[in-house]
Structure 1
Amino acid sequence: MANDPIILAFDTSAAHVAVAVLRGDAVLASHAEPMARGQAEHLFPMIEQVLDAAGTPLNAVDRIGVGIGPGNFTGIRISVAAARGLALSLDRPAIGVSTFDAIRLEAPDVLAAVPAPRDMAHILRPGTDQAEMVPADTVPDAVLPPEAAQLAIAIARCAAQADPASAPAPAPMYLRPADAAPPRDAPPEIIP
């Protein structure tokens, strides 16, 4: 167990901040807080808190797992940017893990679903790799993501199983276009 890699994982793809530290199969520490806003300001303090609880310095982390969505656009960007920055600064691999992969970790053949706005759900049907958006009430038998702390643990376990040599840099998993629209007014003229 002492030679097992240490995995730091975190997720801000929904209304939460969740962090976990694993060594092999052992969960050294995990913590999650519900949070609709402010994930960017709370992510690194929570990472530090969880690493302290695990008795693990940041430079001892062997691999970083990060939730890439689907979910909240801003939340996904926060986690992915943090993971890529940590990976670069620590010279460690960062592995992006979709919420679908985290759901399917224990049961690979389930209909995985992630809640979406307006009573919709992002789903991934068994045997496919193309997600769909459907009304949530049309998939009552779908398996939803675990609570936030368990989601971070599942992300860490998926990252531990991944081959870092073949894993691309984490990138957001966006399944729908942004809700925001560009402004209609022309930008102001900048005078040198």
Structure 2
Amino acid sequence: MKPDPTLLAFDTSAAHCAAALLSDGEITTRVDLMARGQAEHLMVMLDDMLAAAGMGWSALDAVAVGIGPGNFTGIRISVAAARGIALGLGKPAIGVSSLEALAHGQPRPFCARLPAPRDHHYAQTFTARGAGDPSLEVGAATLPDPVVLVSNILQIATIRLASGAPIARPAPLYLRPADAAPPRDPAPVILP
């Protein structure tokens, strides 16, 4: 890996599109708050960030993505985008848990918490020895600053890239089943 890598990190696990670009040792961030429309907005936003930095997609050494937990659809949007970009560029995609991103740089032990639906929160404890399993717990939690979240995703991914260790393809981190329910109406009759 070159000594000064160029990485693009992004996250859509909550009501935002958040991105951070590391180029020439400088981090640039952008957060667009939005409850819906991340799928249509994300790639345009990332393209705009790269253009503003005077670079194209091929300048990237890797992409990093927040894998959740969080909004089911938002996580799928960003993970699918990261996989597609990485495949197209032939570069690694690095998945980082939002809970790990919240714990980055915090004194240990530290319990990271993220809001979840229905007065619950996602939690994971980080100690000097490692991390416990993430869980879904009762009680509210505060939504983190998306700039801090995506910046930490970027920093963790940079460390992983520099380590030279094998990088697994990012996959969504779900701690609860999807809220979608099957339709109540009977399926349509298919005519021959």
Same topology, TM > 0.5: yes
**Aligned-residue CA RMSD in angstroms?**
2.0
Cα shift at 1:180: 1.2
8 Å CA contact retained: 1:65, 1:155: yes
Once residues 36 and 119 of structure 1 are traced to their aligned partners in structure 2, the CA distance between those partners, rounded to angstroms, is 19
Using the aligned pairs only, state the percent identity: 48
* Amino acid across the alignment from 1:47: L
Once residues 75 and 82 of structure 2 are traced to their aligned partners in structure 1, the CA distance between those partners, rounded to angstroms, is 11
Q: What is the aligned residue count?
A: 185
In the other structure, the counterpart of 1:172 is 172
In the other structure, the counterpart of 1:4 is 4
Ranges in structure 1 where 5+ consecutive residues have no aligned partner = none
Once residues 80 and 52 of structure 1 are traced to their aligned partners in structure 2, the CA distance between those partners, rounded to angstroms, is 22
The answer to whether residue 123 in structure 2 is matched with residue 123 in structure 1 is yes
Ranges in structure 2 where 5+ consecutive residues have no aligned partner = none
Cα shift at 1:77: 0.3
Once residues 165 and 191 of structure 1 are traced to their aligned partners in structure 2, the CA distance between those partners, rounded to angstroms, is 55
In the other structure, the counterpart of 1:191 is 191
Q: Secondary structure at the match of 1:33?
A: strand
Once residues 99 and 24 of structure 2 are traced to their aligned partners in structure 1, the CA distance between those partners, rounded to angstroms, is 22
Q: Secondary structure at the match of 1:111?
A: strand
Once residues 24 and 98 of structure 2 are traced to their aligned partners in structure 1, the CA distance between those partners, rounded to angstroms, is 21
Cα shift at 1:56: 2.4
Q: Secondary structure at the match of 2:122?
A: strand
Cα shift at 1:52: 2.0
In the other structure, the counterpart of 1:70 is 69
8 Å CA contact retained: 1:12, 1:67: yes
* Amino acid across the alignment from 1:159: A
Cα shift at 1:136: 2.4
In the other structure, the counterpart of 1:40 is 39
Cα shift at 1:57: 1.5
Q: Structure 2 matches for 1:20-169, cutoff 5 A?
A: 20-23=20-23, 25-27=25-27, 29-107=28-106, 108-127=108-127, 128-137=131-140, 146-163=144-161, 165-169=165-169
Once residues 23 and 68 of structure 1 are traced to their aligned partners in structure 2, the CA distance between those partners, rounded to angstroms, is 23
- Pick which of 58-67 and 17-26 moved more: 17-26
Once residues 63 and 149 of structure 1 are traced to their aligned partners in structure 2, the CA distance between those partners, rounded to angstroms, is 19
Once residues 24 and 103 of structure 1 are traced to their aligned partners in structure 2, the CA distance between those partners, rounded to angstroms, is 25
Q: Residues 129-157 of structure 1: CA distance to partner in whole angstroms, max 9, x if unpaired? A: 311222225x7xxxx66411222111111
8 Å CA contact retained: 1:103, 1:145: no
Q: Secondary structure at the match of 1:125?
A: strand
8 Å CA contact retained: 1:99, 1:145: no
Cα shift at 1:185: 4.3
Cα shift at 1:124: 0.4
* Amino acid across the alignment from 2:43: F
Cα shift at 1:117: 1.2
